[in-house]
Structure 1
């Protein structure tokens, strides 16, 4: 039985604990605590408060290391190759019928079967719902009509004065082309996505609705559709089906097209396949320097369907697109994410999944809808050797499971 003195001591300890400001821990102590955390908790800790974020920035930097997102039915797991560890139960806040569209650091752009978009943080579970596509869409006189019949394969239709396009899961996922940019410190973000090569929609934090760009870009009498897009340094780069690149500046209150200072518009990219080569996809990528790259994935049929990636960059003097061997000094990229990522200063040894510059991380679904000869659902292409390293097999890694790459901590 506790004595009165014991009860008084316990009450004193409780009051001390309640009154203690955990944001004011000694910097050296807090830094030591943060550096001892596992990777997920390490990145979560910086969101506690501004003081913790300040100390977090002084911690020993952990190399940016691509992780894998593993989807199994309605569950989601994260695999960290450096720790060789799977984190389960990381889909709190994700809708069951939602699908991946784009990624930016710890954040995913998701869409569900109602064509409702939201942004989701894989580490903190924070969710940001975007305006409904059924609400008023600015520009272009287009509207989305949702299918009200439960279980119907069609999600709805986009309707404008000239056409009516069916919206289905296979069109959204198989032809997925979207971009997400988010500033974790300020909370600012930009989302843009292409539907069926025809419609281009964007939304910036603070807007009151989605924006449709179809009638707001200079066509210059050229008939083109949208193939891919990328975002960096407040600019949205649009890669068209006829090889041209348009640029939209989002730095002001209202986005505007860059016309006079766009060196890419009058010099389209052209590539003709070699014999026995099948071009899978072409993606646009922006380097840290702001230069534009075109990444082309290809299957070489005569080499047991060998996968290759070609990189092209426009020569600023001749304005001719030339094949290059590098994606930039100390840079790597995730195919389809639109920007290069800082690679470790020194190569990181994580078994068969070595992290190094000049690597392209890809998912098999990014190459073509069906590809049965792959060893795994995702791979790492080394530009220096043209060799693909397939991540080691695990119990979740089969063709019925979807995987994606993401880079925690990248901003």
Structure 2
């Protein structure tokens, strides 16, 4: 019998390579596309078991990053890319909006070496505000106040953002904010456009970007709907913009156990309905519960939601997705890592400490949480649920 000798992995026969690719786990399958052109082309033709379970991107205190697959209970190293000194601001599929130690903003694919550099933060077209970088991590912000201008220094530690990427159309849109200051850019642009408002002292409490539609929840309980699809800026398409004042931070007491509502988040369902999500942490017991409300454009009184039906809510992304047991997506559940990503509590008159990383999947029916205690050994500084594309 003749012995076949294939000296290079890139020269494996298609049937043998397909056999190998079909048996790889999801993360390794993604990495296999980077081996060579032959592996990439073969992966496009390989039929694998359907996969869509959410993964976790974990940022470690020593500046490293790892991936965690809850279904396999396994931690993976990320690509060979250097993640030291960066912050993950947002994600869309495999793509993450990243801020580095010198305040450069860019988008990366965590399963490859693809990178899209975004304009410098101070690059603007039009608008009333001006930013000027005064250090690696600080900017001066000039604000008009009706008489002249006054200057505020912003730390990049306070920068927040959201991201949407359509890989098939090769389109993206990135939105970032400094409390009251909102700006965005789209593919093909080398500048940002400001999103001016009349409520300059009203800070951003949370944001969701779904396609070109931006949903903004503010600290004074306004909800704004902004269409960013136009060529010349944005269009405010809000229908009802005021929520009842009960949607502010509050303290609860149950059997002597003080509880803090440490996040007010906004989310959008698959059908386009807007949800408001309270995360409530009982300090003494460490127990976390959630309350979900549905808004209506003709009514300022949100209605409590007891079930998400056959959908799951990812607070980090601000969206719901169809549940599927075969994919590991639990129905009527909330995937959570931490609250108040956007709101800068240090500037509040009575600041509440930022919520810790608290990774869990909360079931609205049983009102119980599935936690991942083994991850606490990794000394996490940040975590994000995401759906690989």
1:343 equivalent in structure 2: 323
Instruction: For residue 110 of structure 1, give the secondary structure of its aligned residue in structure 2.
Output: strand
Of the candidates 255, 268, 288, which is equivalent to residue 307 of structure 1? 288
Q: Give the whole-Å Cα distance in 1 for the aligned partners of 2:309 and 2:235.
A: 27
User: Following TM superposition, by how much is the alpha carbon of 1:51 offset from its aligned partner in structure 2, in angstroms?
Assistant: 5.5
Q: Give the whole-Å Cα distance in 1 for the aligned partners of 2:9 and 2:22.
A: 23
User: Following TM superposition, by how much is the alpha carbon of 1:403 offset from its aligned partner in structure 2, in angstroms?
Assistant: 3.5
Is 1:103 aligned to 2:91, yes or no?
yes
2:116 equivalent in structure 1: 128
User: Following TM superposition, by how much is the alpha carbon of 1:81 offset from its aligned partner in structure 2, in angstroms?
Assistant: 2.2
Is 1:205 aligned to 2:187, yes or no?
yes
**Per the alignment, do residues 55 and 238 of structure 1 end up closer, same or farther by CA in structure 2, a change over 3 Å counting?**
same
Q: Give the whole-Å Cα distance in 1 for the aligned partners of 2:236 and 2:131.
A: 28
Instruction: For residue 74 of structure 1, give the secondary structure of its aligned residue in structure 2.
Output: coil
1:351 equivalent in structure 2: none
User: Following TM superposition, by how much is the alpha carbon of 1:268 offset from its aligned partner in structure 2, in angstroms?
Assistant: 2.5
**Per the alignment, do residues 17 and 224 of structure 1 end up closer, same or farther by CA in structure 2, a change over 3 Å counting?**
closer
2:360 equivalent in structure 1: 379
In the superposition, the TM-score normalised over structure 2's length comes to 0.79
Of the candidates 26, 29, 47, which is equivalent to residue 39 of structure 1? 26
User: Following TM superposition, by how much is the alpha carbon of 1:65 offset from its aligned partner in structure 2, in angstroms?
Assistant: 2.8
User: Following TM superposition, by how much is the alpha carbon of 1:17 offset from its aligned partner in structure 2, in angstroms?
Assistant: 10
Q: Structure 1, residues 238-282: CA drift from partner, whole Å, max 9, x if none?
A: 2222222222223332343143xx3332x4254264643422121
User: Following TM superposition, by how much is the alpha carbon of 1:362 offset from its aligned partner in structure 2, in angstroms?
Assistant: 2.0
Q: Give the whole-Å Cα distance in 2 for the aligned partners of 1:85 and 1:299.
A: 28
Of the candidates 252, 269, 283, which is equivalent to residue 287 of structure 1? 269
Instruction: For residue 51 of structure 2, give the secondary structure of its aligned residue in structure 1.
Output: coil
Is 1:79 aligned to 2:79, yes or no?
no
**Per the alignment, do residues 371 and 234 of structure 1 end up closer, same or farther by CA in structure 2, a change over 3 Å counting?**
closer
What pairs up with 1:161-310 in 2 under 5 angstroms?
161=144, 162-172=149-159, 177-195=160-178, 197-214=179-196, 217=197, 219=198, 224-259=202-237, 262-265=238-241, 267-271=242-246, 273=250, 275-276=252-253, 277-300=259-282, 304-310=285-291
Q: Gaps spanning 5+ residues in structure 2: where?
A: 254-258, 342-351
2:344 equivalent in structure 1: none
1:55 equivalent in structure 2: 45
**Per the alignment, do residues 390 and 248 of structure 1 end up closer, same or farther by CA in structure 2, a change over 3 Å counting?**
same
More strand per residue: 1 or 2? 2
Q: Gaps spanning 5+ residues in structure 1: where?
A: 1-8, 349-354
Is 1:358 aligned to 2:341, yes or no?
no
Q: Give the whole-Å Cα distance in 2 for the aligned partners of 1:313 and 1:257.
A: 24
**Per the alignment, do residues 377 and 310 of structure 1 end up closer, same or farther by CA in structure 2, a change over 3 Å counting?**
closer
User: Following TM superposition, by how much is the alpha carbon of 1:205 offset from its aligned partner in structure 2, in angstroms?
Assistant: 0.9
User: Following TM superposition, by how much is the alpha carbon of 1:365 offset from its aligned partner in structure 2, in angstroms?
Assistant: 6.2
Of the candidates 43, 58, 66, which is equivalent to residue 69 of structure 1? 58
User: Following TM superposition, by how much is the alpha carbon of 1:316 offset from its aligned partner in structure 2, in angstroms?
Assistant: 6.0
User: Following TM superposition, by how much is the alpha carbon of 1:370 offset from its aligned partner in structure 2, in angstroms?
Assistant: 4.6
1:331 equivalent in structure 2: 312
Mapped contact 1:146–1:157 kept (Cα < 8 A)? yes
Q: Give the whole-Å Cα distance in 1 for the aligned partners of 2:306 and 2:360.
A: 19
Mapped contact 1:179–1:338 kept (Cα < 8 A)? no
What CA RMSD, in Å, does the superposition of the two structures yield over aligned residues?
Answer: 3.4
Q: Give the whole-Å Cα distance in 1 for the aligned partners of 2:82 and 2:168.
A: 21
Q: Which has the larger radius of gyration?
A: 1
**Per the alignment, do residues 318 and 183 of structure 1 end up closer, same or farther by CA in structure 2, a change over 3 Å counting?**
same
Is 1:156 aligned to 2:131, yes or no?
no
User: Following TM superposition, by how much is the alpha carbon of 1:360 offset from its aligned partner in structure 2, in angstroms?
Assistant: 1.9
**Per the alignment, do residues 128 and 252 of structure 1 end up closer, same or farther by CA in structure 2, a change over 3 Å counting?**
same
Q: Give the whole-Å Cα distance in 2 for the aligned partners of 1:365 and 1:331.
A: 17
Q: Give the whole-Å Cα distance in 2 for the aligned partners of 1:223 and 1:371.
A: 24
Instruction: For residue 120 of structure 2, give the secondary structure of its aligned residue in structure 1.
Output: coil
User: Following TM superposition, by how much is the alpha carbon of 1:126 offset from its aligned partner in structure 2, in angstroms?
Assistant: 1.7
Q: Give the whole-Å Cα distance in 1 for the aligned partners of 2:303 and 2:80.
A: 43
